[in-house]
Structure 1
């Protein structure tokens, strides 16, 4: 089934070229079906790239999905035009009286700041508090995952000695949990962050289940026991080239940045990186939408 997106959204053309079933607003109105309503709080700087990455995943399920993009009014985005935001994004005030079946809160390149130092932290807190009563399940990515762990469960983040940057293997602790149903024993995934959360703090929290981590005890997939929150500390949504783009950007800025680990074949930047996490990414999004959104959300919100 398709995703329903605004008619002129730039990502729509790319999705159709990839044979993702996309339906615009006009056609969707003729469908006699109860679609899922998903709101995406996109905090990433290159918003159009993130839109395409997430819509590609949400469009690969048998469910019809209506998409609403959300932005922060207390933050001015520098890498996307104001007209794009005005046309395709809503503010919290515009959607706060609605209820959504699912929500995605993305990462943001601000993890080296304390949460309270983030200019839009108060607005983020308001959205996360609102989600408790207005959203069935929330998927949090990277900084969004750290923010959720801090706000909902009091788990602090802390700085790493160096940037955790590359493709890393993770084990699955309990393959019977529906979120990771069908996963292999080892899952590869991209990470790009300067901070982490304590393995022990997550393991010892009675409200959380740690579903996946690395051999060196880096938490990866965390699920609240009520299914309300899914926290992914990496970037499963990334394309094969995304880490390479970040590496080139940082090099151009003159930053002291190492090659992303396990990324370029033989650590040769002239070799094309392979996407070794695509299948698990699609499976995780499908499992989340099916088991934690579709099968849990009320048919009619009251």
Structure 2
């Protein structure tokens, strides 16, 4: 089944070239099926690239998924034209009466700020509060995972001595959990952040189950016991060159950052990038959509109230 996206969204051309099946909303209304309604709150600076990354994963499932892109009203992106946002995005006011099967909130380059200092923090709190009754399942990525854990459970973040950047190995903690069904015992995933979570503190919250960890990168994957909240501290959605582009950007800005680890063959930047996380990324999103959303969400979303 395809992922349904807005007509003329530039990411559609990329998906077409990669043979990822999608359809426009106009065509989807003629399908005799109720698609999963998924909202994506895109907080990343390069919104077009982030769209492509998540749509690749959401479009590689057997389920029909209808996408609504959201942006903040309290903060105007400096990297995306307002005309583009007006054409393809909605703000919370446009959707606050709607119900969704799922919500994805992306990472954001604001992790060194205290949560309350983030320009759109109050708006994000409103969205998280709204999601409790209007969204069946939520997936929080990187900074959003830290923000949601702070909002819902009071779990703070810790600033790292240096930026964590690269591809890290992870170990599955509970092989029987549906979210990690089919995972290898050890798998790889990208990380790109300046902060981390205190695993010992997280483990004290019985409402949360830690599902995968890394010796170097810490907690990677966790979920609420009812499965309606999933927290991913890494960036499984990243494409091949994202870490390289971030590293180049940081160096140009004069930041003291190290070359992403386990990224180039032999850790040699003159060699090719070695993609080791693509299979895991697809499996993670397939499992989440199937076991945490599709098999449990009510057919009539209004029942969430």
Q: TM-score range by the shorter chain?
A: over 0.9
Matched, 1:95 2:95: yes
| 8 Å CA contact 1:3, 1:23 repeated in 2 | yes
Moved over 6 A (4+): none
Determine the structure 2 residue equivalent to 1:299.
299
What's the CA shift for 1:217?
Answer: 6.9
1:104-157 deviations in Å (ceiling 9; x for gaps) = 000000000000000100000000010011111000000000001100111000
- The aligned runs of 1:5-16 (5 Å cut-off) are 5-16=5-16
| 1:201 paired residue number | 201
Provide Cα deviations, 1:67-109, integer angstroms capped at 9, x if missing partner.
0000000111011111110000001010000000001000000
Q: Tell me the distance in 1 between the aligned counterparts of 2:216 and 2:57.
A: 29
Quote the residue 1:214 is aligned against.
214
Matches within 5 A, 1:156-195: 156-195=156-195
Unmatched segments (≥5 aa) in structure 2: none
Alignment partners' CA distance in 2, 1:71 and 1:252: 28
Instruction: Please name the residue that 1:254 is paired with.
Output: 254
1:23 aligns to what SS in structure 2?
A: strand
The answer as to whether partners of 1:199 and 1:217 remain within 8 angstroms in 2 is no
Q: In structure 2, how many angstroms separate the alpha carbons of the residues matched to 1:168 and 1:293?
A: 28
Provide, for residues 241-280 of structure 1, a one-character-per-residue CA deviation record: whole Å limited to 9, x for no partner: 1101111111112221111111111222121211101001
Name the stretch that deviates more: 277-286 or 259-268: 259-268
Give the match's secondary structure for 1:128.
helix
Matched residue, 2:232: 232
Q: Distance in 1 between matches of 2:263 and 2:188?
A: 11
Superposition deviation, residue 222 in structure 1 = 0.6
Query: 1:163 and 1:252 mapped to 2: Cα distance?
Result: 16
The SS at the match of 2:27 is helix
Q: Which structure 2 residues correspond to residues 1-302 of structure 1 after superposition, within 5 A?
A: 1-216=1-216, 218-302=218-302
Kept in 1: contact 2:171–2:214 (CA 8 A)? yes
RMSD over aligned Cα atoms? 0.9
Does the aligned pair in 2 maintain the 1:166–1:262 contact within 8 Å? Answer: yes
Q: How far apart, in 2, do the equivalents of 1:217 and 1:272 lie?
A: 23
Q: Secondary structure at the match of 1:250?
A: helix
Do 2:15 and 2:56's aligned partners in 1 also have CA atoms closer than 8 Å? yes
SS of the counterpart of 1:133? helix
Distance 2:188 2:18 in 1: 23
The CA distance in 2 between the partners of 1:61 and 1:271, in whole Å, is 33
Are the equivalent residues in 1 in contact too, given 2:250–2:257 (CA < 8 A)? yes
Structure 1 SS opposite 2:52: helix
Work out whether residues 192 and 234 of structure 1, in 8 Å CA contact, stay in contact via their aligned partners in 2. Answer: yes
Any unmatched runs of 5+ in structure 1? none
